[in-house]
Copies of this chain bind each other. A is one copy, B any other.
């Protein structure tokens, strides 16, 4: 398949028009490799580990959620040089779907809702609210790691979820107004926790977003590389 054909397919899946403004020039074909692609791999981040595995797998295309070139560069040195060298030397393409995939139907938040078996979904500006029958312990189990509670979470009936770094006060107010009992996201800040209008559940960024990339890979028959950041609780 020509890379153009692949891009057209991805654009149908997660149209770039759905992306936030800050993603301009940071989604789509971020590194251009060979034009003809047959072997596609997928991961959440283009880490050195992931890129190495993709090279070993002779991938022509790597699809990720987070661009490795977020800050515009005028120099390719250090880690960035190493990563770009690995990709470019292998003539591998790198394709990024970020907030366009967050917002897309069947995208990041939808995958998370599915993983948590949410029912009767109400959309929010970002993420959604759904009826949950899971306890906090079961949520942790589904997400495959520990979670952290901010505020006492009693019975959860309606759970708001925002994959990624979604503890935004405005979004949390929206969740409360729309009837949520708890708010699941990642990267809680002290100042935000202090003013949270509803109990919050903090998971890791990876745990909330990786399922969407894994599900995408499975559905498309791509190889998925799991590479969670090392993370361990000392109680």
Binding site for B on A (CB under 8 A): 25-26, 28-33, 45, 47, 66-67, 69-79, 81, 84-85, 88-89, 91, 136-137, 139-140, 146-152, 165, 186-191, 193-195, 204-206, 229-235
Query: In the complex, how many angstroms separate the beta carbon of A54 from the nearest chain B beta carbon?
Result: 16
Interchain CA distance A25-B74 in the complex, whole Å: 6
Interchain CA distance A76-B235 in the complex, whole Å: 40
Residues of B within 8 A of A88 (CB): 76, 81, 84-85, 88-89
Residues of B within 8 A of A231 (CB): 148-150, 193
Residues of B within 8 A of A76 (CB): 30-32, 69, 84, 88
Query: In the complex, how many angstroms separate the beta carbon of A162 from the nearest chain B beta carbon?
Result: 14
Interchain CA distance A234-B204 in the complex, whole Å: 13
B235 touches A140 (CB 8 A): yes
How many copies of this protein are present in the complex?
Answer: 6
Residues of B within 8 A of A25 (CB): 74-75
Residue of B nearest to A45 (CB): B194
Given contacts A148-B233, A150-B229, 6 further A-B contacts (CB under 8 A): A29-B75, A30-B75, A31-B81, A89-B89, A149-B234, A150-B231
B78 touches A32 (CB 8 A): yes
Given contacts A190-B206, A194-B47, A229-B194, contact A234 B30 (CB under 8 A): no
Given contacts A85-B88, A151-B230, contact A195 B79 (CB under 8 A): yes
Residue of B nearest to A135 (CB): B234
A193 touches B148 (CB 8 A): no
